[in-house]
Amino acid sequence: MSIIETIKQPWPWYVAGPLIGLTVPTLLILGNKSFGISSSLRHICAACLPANIPFFSYNWKREAWNLFFVSGILLGGIIAAQLLANPQPIQINPHLAESLSKYGITDYTTLVPNQVFNWPALFTLRGMVMMVMGGFMVGFGTRYAGGCTSGHAIMGLSTLQWPSLVATCCFMAGGFVMANLILPFILSL
């Protein structure tokens, strides 16, 4: 099997997990840097917006490494989507497929179901609730919690920060409530 074929296969948790976990000590050793993605938007705004807004008035150039990190994630995603994409339909649990078929979701040829995530669907009530309100809630939650799931769950927990434990528990509880109680209601709209 070639290297490309090996990379295309799903990586087991015991390989991918430690690689993600080793990011934290690597960043700490290389310059006492914190892992997190949501702060990059603040750095971009501080670089692009006038400095008379107090929240964006800081030395964002000290955090420019984070912008390169996020750019690498974006570039890696583009490369993976173009060169490493699996042409097979997404494999999901048969029970989930049965549950989703009740809402008219049956196409699993792409990463996200086309019946829900497409341009015409955006301009429906369900599309507005899922994309616009969902995006707002994620942004609000990230700002309210003082960071995103990667920052709290990976970096915060590994450095034994109590607020990160609370935030991660709330993220998980919110995900369970959303997936099991709210999403079925939204999909039935």
Task: Please report whether residue 164 resides in a domain.
Answer: yes
What is the model's pLDDT at position 164?
Answer: 92
Residue 109: inside a domain, yes or no?
Answer: no
* Confidence at residue 78, expressed as pLDDT on a 0 to 100 scale: 92
| Share of residues in the chain with pLDDT > 90 (%) | 18
94 pLDDT tier (thresholds 50, 70, 90): very high
pLDDT at residue 64 in the model: 85
Per the domain annotation, does 149 fall within a domain?
A: yes
Which one is predicted more confidently, 176 or 139?
Answer: 176
Burial degree of 52 (CB within 10 A; 0-12, 13-18, 19+): exposed
Looking at per-residue confidence, does 79 or 189 come out higher?
79
CA angle, residues 95, 177, 20, in degrees to nearest 5: 80
Spatial contact of 104 and 118, defined as CB atoms under 8 Å apart: no
What confidence category does residue 186 fall into, taking pLDDT thresholds of 50, 70 and 90? confident
Question: Which tens digits make up the pLDDT trace of 43-81?
Answer: 888 888 766 788 888 888 888 888 888 899 899 989 888
What's the confidence (pLDDT) of residue 121? 84
Q: What is the mean pLDDT of residues 160-183?
A: 92
Q: How many CA atoms lie within 13 A of 6 on its CB side?
A: 4
pLDDT of 127 > 90? The answer is: no
Instruction: State the pLDDT at residue 58.
Output: 85
> Which residue range forms the structural domain that includes residue 132?
116-189
Q: One-letter amino acid identity for 62? A: R
CA atoms within 13 A on the CB side of 56: 14
Is residue 66, in this structure, part of any structural domain at all?
Answer: no
Collapsing DSSP to helix, strand or coil, 147 comes out as coil
Residue 13 domain-assigned (yes or no): no
Does any domain span residue 79? no
Average pLDDT over residues 11-40: 85
Question: In the predicted model, is pLDDT for residue 134 greater than 80?
Answer: yes
Helix H or strand E segment including 31: helix 23-31
Max CA distance (Å), the chain:
56
Q: What percent of the chain has pLDDT over 70?
A: 98
- Give yes or no for residue 82 having a pLDDT over 90: no
How far apart are the C-alpha atoms of 128 and 134, rounded to whole Å? 9
**Count of domains for the chain:** 1
Domain-embedded: residue 176: yes
Please report the DSSP string for 154-180 in residue order. IIIHHTT-HHHHHHHHHHHHHHHHIII
In a domain, 166, yes or no: yes
